[in-house]
Amino acid sequence: MVADLKGNRISWLGHAAFKITTPSNKVILIDPFLTHNPATPAEAKKQDQVDLILVTHGHGDHTEDVVSLAKAHNAEVVTIVELAAWFGSKGVENAVGMNKGGSYTSQGITVHMTHALHTGGVGEGNDFPYTGDAAGFVIDLEHGLSVYHAGDTAPFMDMQLIKELYAPELAMLPIGDFYTMGPKGAAISARMLGVKYVIPMHFGTFPILVGTPAQLREAMHKINLDNVEVIEMKPGETIG
């Protein structure tokens, strides 16, 4: 099985950071942690075009480059309301603060903010201010492709509602364990979501993130999900 991205292209930039390029050449970044990300290839640490930035929650390994990229490209930043206010205080002019259950359309792309089981706070020195709940996004792209970026999360039963409400075809799921769910949790999440494709993320960046795509495939096999394709990407790789 080969993923049909309907003209969209998806690049994994390492960790939970992704770049999506639409058929009309709109560039979406998700959780851009690039500068100090040991998994991000050198050529991907700088971006020539950014139109929309989606941020799942306020931890440095998801937010590091948001402010600099938003300012450099006059990009719109969409995130939960408290974190949007924090970005605004740092000089981001186009920060949109929404909340879970809501939808927002920009530049022909609709995003739906979903639940996630995690925390959120942006560290500055010894201060770690709360910046709203962690979230995920379902992204309705051009030509009918629906993609779910789970953010940092454990499995939760309401993933079944994400399936019912938005029916994503492809899910980007964390598998690293320790800070998020591991491979077994991601397999169960894929079953609840009813997706065709899974891109594993948030693994291997640091030694403590021990989950692997091979373990995900094994966990999926044990629950009879062999019909779901695991798309194992290398940082810097593009599909579509």
For 24-75, how does the pLDDT look when each residue is reduced to its tens digit (9 = 90+)?
Answer: 999 999 999 999 999 999 999 999 999 999 999 999 999 999 999 999 999 9
Domain membership of residue 92 (yes or no) is yes
What gap in Å lies between CA 190 and CA 223, rounded to an integer? 10
Identity of residue 188: I
pLDDT of 145-181, one tens digit each?
999 999 999 999 999 999 999 999 999 999 999 999 9
What gap in Å lies between CA 24 and CA 160, rounded to an integer? 31
Exposed (0-12), middle (13-18) or buried (19+): which is 6, by Cβ within 10 Å? middle
| Radius of gyration, CA atoms only, the chain | 16
Domain membership of residue 224 (yes or no) is yes
Domain membership of residue 43 (yes or no) is yes
What gap in Å lies between CA 108 and CA 95, rounded to an integer? 17
Domain membership of residue 142 (yes or no) is yes
- Label each residue of 221-238 as H, E or C: HHCCCCCCEECCCCCCCE
What is the structure's pLDDT at 126? 72
Domain membership of residue 1 (yes or no) is no
Q: How many domains, in total, are found in the chain?
A: 1
3-class SS at 138? strand
Domain membership of residue 135 as a residue range = 9-239
First CA to last CA across the chain, in angstroms?
A: 13
Question: φ and ψ at 13, to 5 degrees?
Answer: -100, 5
Q: Six-digit token pair at 188?
A: 């169960």
Please, which pLDDT band fits residue 123 given cuts at 50, 70 and 90? confident
Q: In DSSP terms, which residues pair with 77 in a beta bridge? A: 53, 95
Percent of the chain with pLDDT over 70: 99
pTM above 0.95, yes or no: yes
Domain membership of residue 104 (yes or no) is yes
Mean pLDDT of 85-102: 97
What is the structure's pLDDT at 28? 98
What gap in Å lies between CA 153 and CA 177, rounded to an integer? 10
Q: Six-digit token pair at 53?
A: 């930035």
Domain membership of residue 3 (yes or no) is no
What is the structure's pLDDT at 127? 78
Q: What is the mean pLDDT of the chain?
A: 97
Q: In DSSP terms, which residues pair with 105 in a beta bridge? A: 110
We report the CATH number of the domain holding residue 154 as: 3.60.15.10
The answer, yes or no, to whether residue 4 has pLDDT greater than 80, is: yes
The answer, yes or no, to whether residue 186 has pLDDT greater than 80, is: yes
* β-pair type (76-80, 95-98): parallel
Please, which pLDDT band fits residue 1 given cuts at 50, 70 and 90? low
The CA distances from residue 157 to 12, 70, 106, 191, in Å, are: 27, 34, 29, 11
pLDDT of 5-19, one tens digit each?
999 999 999 999 999
Domain membership of residue 4 (yes or no) is no
